[in-house]
Amino acid sequence: MGHLIAEIARNRGHKIVCTIDVDNADAFNSEEFRSADAAIEFSTPGTAVDNILRCFAAGVPVVSGTTGWLDALPELRDMCDKGKGTLLYGSNFSIGVNVFMAVNRYLAKVMNDFPDYTPSMVEIHHIHKLDHPSGTAITLAEDLVQAVGRIDAWEEPEPGKEPDTHKLPIEHVREGEVPGTHIVTWDSPVDKITISHEAKSRQGFALGAVKAAEWVKGRKGYFTVADMLSDLTHTSGLFS
């Protein structure tokens, strides 16, 4: 992702003033890093929070697409609200995925009135992805739970265990180099409704992250991909 983000940024006329990985973490303290208009953070669940905090300390707005660390998000959001940093977080920066999320929210509101339909979800990713379910799946699930009164939470069911009828089951699959596929199904005794999004490559994620960095430059506070897309498309409420 780092190489792809850098390539797309340069193709859009930007300069990469600093690249940081596990071997040069001290570069967070460099003049080059502090001169950046924005930082793009794609790392691991175990390092993301520290990376974001170091961006805050350097006064650099940060775009983060790392998932698996969201228990710390309320604290970071509070820091942004108090003027101690700028963060734009997204579980997925793909424009197509965010349109898919909007469709999922709309369908969930409709299906709330049809109790014969039972929802479930499957997410498929490459074998290198450490967290599960994916951040995108969690976002989809939380939107669904919020809209459907008969579902009060999501879960990853234990093999062989009967699923809880009041919980949304999420199955995760890790295979090959799959960039990301998400499938939401509504099953009833008489038919089945399925919506899905399948990424063809990681390029859509990288392009969205670069656009987010362009958008967050000069802004203060906490933002989401929905905030950015609502602003860029001049729509209100469609993506949130």
Query: Could you tell me if 148 and 108 are in contact, meaning their C-beta atoms sit under 8 angstroms apart?
Result: yes
Choosing from 125, 132, 182, 197, which is the catalytic residue? 125
Given the DSSP bridges, would you call strands 118-125 and 181-187 parallel, antiparallel or unpaired? antiparallel
User: Is the torsion defined by CA of 83, 86, 88, 89 positive or negative?
Assistant: negative
Pick the closest to residue 224 from 123, 105, 80 (CA basis). Answer: 80
Minimal CA–CA distance to 90: which of 80, 101, 82? 101
Mark whether 125 is an active-site residue.
yes
Q: 187 has which bridge partners?
A: 118, 192
The residue annotated as part of the active site, out of 109, 129, 167, 172, is 129
Continuous H helices in 116-186 = 135-147
Q: Which tokens sit at 97?
A: 């995925």
Query: What CA–CA distance (Å, rounded) separates 222 from 171?
Result: 31
Cite the active site residues: 125, 129
